[in-house]
Amino acid sequence: MSMNAPRGTQDILPGTSEKWQYVERQLADLCRRYNYKEIRTPIFEHTELFQRGVGDSTDIVQKEMYTFEDRGGRSVTLRPEGTASVVRSYVQNKVYGLPNQPTKYFYMGPMFRYERPQQGRQRQFVQFGIEALGSDDPAIDAEVLALALGSYEELGLKSLKLVLNSLGDKESREAHRDALVRHFDPHREELCADCQVRLDQNPLRVLDCKKDREHPAMSTAPSILDYLNDYSENYFEEVKKYLDEMGIAYEIDPNLVRGLDYYNHTAFEIMSEAEGFGAITTLSGGGRYTGLVQEVGGPETSGIGFAMSIERLLMALEAEGIELPIDEGLDTYVVALGEEAEKAAVRLTYQLRQAGIQVDKDYLGKKMKAQFKAADRIGAKYVLVLGDQELENNVINVKTMATGDQQEVALDEIVDFMKKQLIGGE
């Protein structure tokens, strides 16, 4: 019986996994500079968390969640996004009561959505995101936008576009909601079945529909920017001023909405404008939310965050022809010839590894020529050759693979010698 990975999942093999590790290290370092700390939450949560936190009217909850009953009859869901889990942890652990606020988190890990797999969009995908909780200062909105954009720029991406909108506060959204219903209601029967439901549950989501995007009513839909009250308008202006102070370019798109119910005020997306990236250009998105913390049992708390797909980040790097500085070679390879030399090679390999040196050896009983070929294939910088004769003389031969130069080194000095060659420089 042939067993393959489930549809919408993938194996990340050596040769590719090193790219993931490099990207993850760079993102973690960027977060360190912004003083965001890592949080790790469970891969599955109680289903109600996502129903309440993400919103019953969203496609995620209605169509895409992996939900099942555990053996205790409890409904649990593989997390489809990170924000609700982070907020749940924030509330459960009463982090809102700690003196140092706002609380600034970052996370990386697998998420799960049941949707049609396509390039850069899998059913299991890896998401990096940040959340800043406990401040409604427009300056932290600008900080989050800068971090989001920096996540791509740090890796060398240049064909980027930051798109910005305001969804307003509750009062502004309600006024816009009524205007949207009045606008789209005469066209209700012309809209897709999903949008007919959205028109009653969450009219803002109609603007985000991919099926009806070409409908004439879309281009004339009322803009949220025309319904912002003074507070919301001033808030949005402050965010833009801070971005201007940092020299960060952006575009305003009044039709930009986010797919989750908990957003208000600042909403944004970062897009790739690279040739050959694909029809779906969005790399990441996020925004401000107020009410989500209360929804999961905490006090009134404001927050802002964003999330990005690592898969789509790697696609963008490929589209712009950016090669990550990945060293896939090996520091040292030990070649052993003879029974006693083999035993000594095992001990030496262990000693080198304990000293912080990357090293490997043959485990298939290959002859010397084949061992050298193996060392060359895996890009070893140095080959250490140890035979029974060398062992008897307490020496080992060191070959520099780039030049072919060889030198004899005392066996009891080889660890320090290699440390100087590889760590301390020649």
pLDDT for res 362: 94
Distance CA(308)–CA(249), nearest Å, equals 19
Give φ, ψ of 189 to 5 degrees. -70, -15
What is the DSSP track for 127-191?
A: EEEEEEES---HHHHHHHHHHHHHHHHTTT---EEEEEEE---HHHHHHHHHHHHHHHGGGGGGS
Distance CA(420)–CA(426), nearest Å, equals 6
pLDDT for res 426: 44
Task: Kindly state the tokens that stand for 287.
Answer: 């925004």
pLDDT for res 59: 66
| Predicted TM-score of the model (pTM) | 0.87
pLDDT for res 287: 94
Q: Which of 290, 229, 218 is nearest to 253 (CA)?
A: 218
pLDDT for res 197: 84
Q: Which of 30, 14, 5, 21 is nearest to 310 (CA)?
A: 21
Cβ(140)–Cβ(132) under 8 Å? yes
What does the pLDDT profile of the chain (426 residues) look like in tens digits? 678 999 999 999 999 999 999 999 999 999 999 999 999 999 999 999 988 867 665 667 777 899 999 999 999 999 999 999 999 999 999 999 999 999 999 999 999 999 888 777 899 999 999 999 999 999 999 999 999 999 999 999 999 999 999 999 889 888 988 888 898 888 888 888 888 888 888 787 788 777 887 888 888 888 889 989 999 999 999 999 999 999 999 999 988 876 555 678 999 999 999 887 877 789 999 999 988 899 889 999 999 999 999 999 999 999 999 999 998 889 999 999 999 999 999 999 999 999 999 999 999 999 999 999 999 999 999 999 999 999 999 999 999 999 999 999 999 999 999 999 997 654
Distance CA(419)–CA(426), nearest Å, equals 10
pLDDT for res 101: 95
pLDDT for res 418: 95
The crossing angle, in degrees rounded to 10, of helices 193-201 and 170-184 is: 140
pLDDT for res 257: 78
Distance CA(29)–CA(36), nearest Å, equals 10
Q: Which of 231, 222, 286 is nearest to 254 (CA)?
A: 222
- Helix intervals (H) in 310-394: 310-319, 339-354, 368-377, 388-392
Distance CA(107)–CA(308), nearest Å, equals 11
Give φ, ψ of 53 to 5 degrees. -80, -40
